[in-house]
Structure 1
């Protein structure tokens, strides 16, 4: 069971941050709840150096300013595992992201571990320690938390501090430590966490089936839903479900009685916000053809393209195997289809992925190399 100090007053927080500031590397994790809110509710913050572990209680602390000053110190490296949601919390609180950061989940993919490996699995494989999973579904907003719950939370940073030097050592042995620079810089980019309501339609499941005018309506309706969810701090699907948004966009009702006939649309929404929904639809109805959003044609590969895609996927597995990296870390079938279609703004063609697989696959597409099977072994031959 990990030893830790529980922080619930500002003097305690200030003292902890002064101690932590002496360390060039800190491990960070959070516990939060968001099942009933739009914005995640920060319930616990775990932070550790090599010899100190603190658990901060943001539900009892009046503010977190000393912590922010610590986390945003560019001289301190912040360790996380699958840290995007943790970083999003701090962006929502301050509009800023800590940097530099090191994410052990991302780094593990360069060491041959499975794509998106969990923290417990990585700790077990690298350190040989099996973590207690009995408190994984704890309601972290409850108070008081038990000693076992707090010790479980502390373990999330205790072993993170132990993982980092071993993962860093293995990366350096393979000469891959610099490969992660772009990935970690992207993780600290505030643009990754900016939630623009005008772009929320892209998250609506099934939007690719809509015609241009229907898509215009969906954009307006989804923007309204996102803004409403933010204002009320409620999950967006509590405002309106994706199915209802799609139904509204497809049917384009122009009168209150037609709006009320939409299946699944709550009467209370029709009563309180019907005018706003009809206005969003009216704007889409009257939008000139030239201003309608263009839907991306669904890519249906022909027989030759299917063979090419299958060959590239086989090549991807070969390249991944040679580099001892999970193929899913490099690309999936959808991205290979986009590559064959002619798209070039792909993660596969950036950074270390381009070096390992992107450029070799482009060479094959351009006819510079080809695959040959000899004695059951895949071989790459130059075209000349």
Structure 2
């Protein structure tokens, strides 16, 4: 077995050649995002049954040969808690690689905790206890210390055994297709598009604002997202969330008033003040809209129905030994009660397992139509 830090094109070519014929690879990344909007990829760790390679994406002039292997549709990518890793690749190529086997999701379908960490899963399956020495390491520093490199290797070293164990257990339980369905959703390119027009949804503080201020906040959030993307800066380095909400509420139209808002006055006002005032002026000319729906408390009948559905879900979950919230979180049950059949309970393995029954209990006509 070869374990090495890949820092030159010839070594990268050899590693990629070894990956070419593999049906699956264990995959992890190390990246930094403290000073940028887009993550800076620092290291990519890959492992096959015979090889571990840590590809130095900072030193190499290009990692395109590796990306070709990672994006190969015939190769299954085994990743733990894959969302952030897939987002890094989606930023580079516009879409995440597929197909994927997420070991955190696989573990949850096998009865482990929904959000089980990699270290806990490795210890449970292999008996090996991983050290927690470099969880907040600086991965941009070169040369990489030997113990930090060993830590990075471990992120894929034991992932191979975890994958084999979980794949066999899923097959024995008849849930391989369940995981395939979950991971297909995880590799939907739409999950990784930060549409500036939808940036207001991140600002939960806006729910309490009046419609005119919500409309203005939408425009300010779109401006901030575009600015952060264009300058590759963290959103908070452009304008903090609290300052953005305050600006939407106060709606200043003059530099002096804008400068009095905490978090905008000073450097942000000097750098972005004119643009912010233009966005505010534009927002004030728009028709006010209520973007966030006012929360509706379930009435007595709906609450009784919710409790009935929840009791049934818990019974099924206990029977098959997985988490009830994995099958049907509260928001999905409330969707069914409201007559909304667009949620996860109306399709796939959840519908076959219990969704059909729950829709019938709700009197939902969609229960009679297969999706």
Give TM-score scaled by structure 1 length. 0.89
Distance 1:199 1:365 in 2: 32
1:225 aligns with 2:224: yes
1:243 maps to 242
Deviates more, 1:68-77 or 1:207-216: 207-216
Deviates more, 1:347-356 or 1:114-123: 347-356
Query: Is the CA contact 2:2–2:50 (under 8 Å) kept in the aligned structure 1?
Result: no
Distance 2:199 2:306 in 1: 31
Distance 1:120 1:82 in 2: 12
Cα-to-partner distance string for 1:199-231 (whole Å, 9 max, x where unaligned): 111011212222322121111100111111112
Q: How is 1:137-152 mapped onto 2 (pairs within 5 angstroms)?
A: 137-152=136-151
1:337 maps to 334
- Structure 1 residue 294: deviation in Å? 4.4
Unaligned segments of structure 2, at least 5 residues: 366-371
Distance 1:251 1:338 in 2: 35
2:309 maps to 312
Q: How is 1:165-244 mapped onto 2 (pairs within 5 angstroms)?
A: 165-244=164-243
Distance 2:11 2:354 in 1: 50
2:369 maps to none
Distance 1:205 1:296 in 2: 12
- Structure 1 residue 31: deviation in Å? 0.7
Distance 2:261 2:148 in 1: 46
1:122 maps to 121
Cα-to-partner distance string for 1:308-329 (whole Å, 9 max, x where unaligned): 3233323222221112111221
1:26 maps to 25
Query: Is the CA contact 2:258–2:265 (under 8 Å) kept in the aligned structure 1?
Result: no
Cα-to-partner distance string for 1:81-113 (whole Å, 9 max, x where unaligned): 111111111111122322211111111111111
Cα-to-partner distance string for 1:172-223 (whole Å, 9 max, x where unaligned): 1111111222222222222211111111110112122223221211111001
1:373 maps to none
Distance 1:151 1:233 in 2: 31
Distance 1:278 1:367 in 2: 49
SS at match of 1:184: helix
Distance 2:243 2:307 in 1: 37
Distance 1:208 1:82 in 2: 30
In angstroms, what is the RMSD of aligned CA positions? 2.0
Cα-to-partner distance string for 1:241-298 (whole Å, 9 max, x where unaligned): 1111111112222233322232332322223322221222222221135xx3543131
1:53 aligns with 2:45: no
Distance 1:85 1:367 in 2: 36
Distance 2:250 2:340 in 1: 33
Change beyond 3 A, Cα 1:249–1:338: farther
Query: Is the CA contact 2:111–2:322 (under 8 Å) kept in the aligned structure 1?
Result: yes
SS at match of 2:69: helix
SS at match of 1:53: strand
Give TM-score scaled by structure 2 length. 0.92
Distance 2:127 2:353 in 1: 30
2:351 maps to 354
Distance 2:301 2:269 in 1: 51
1:16 maps to 15
2:76 maps to 77
- Structure 1 residue 235: deviation in Å? 1.2
Distance 2:125 2:34 in 1: 32
Tell me the matched-pair count: 365
1:283 aligns with 2:282: yes
1:261 maps to 260
Unaligned segments of structure 1, at least 5 residues: 369-384
Distance 2:118 2:89 in 1: 21
Query: Is the CA contact 1:90–1:97 (under 8 Å) kept in the aligned structure 2?
Result: yes
SS at match of 1:4: strand
Query: Is the CA contact 1:211–1:295 (under 8 Å) kept in the aligned structure 2?
Result: no
- Structure 1 residue 6: deviation in Å? 1.2
Distance 1:283 1:314 in 2: 50
Deviates more, 1:261-270 or 1:172-181: 261-270
- Structure 1 residue 43: deviation in Å? 1.2
Deviates more, 1:72-81 or 1:351-360: 351-360
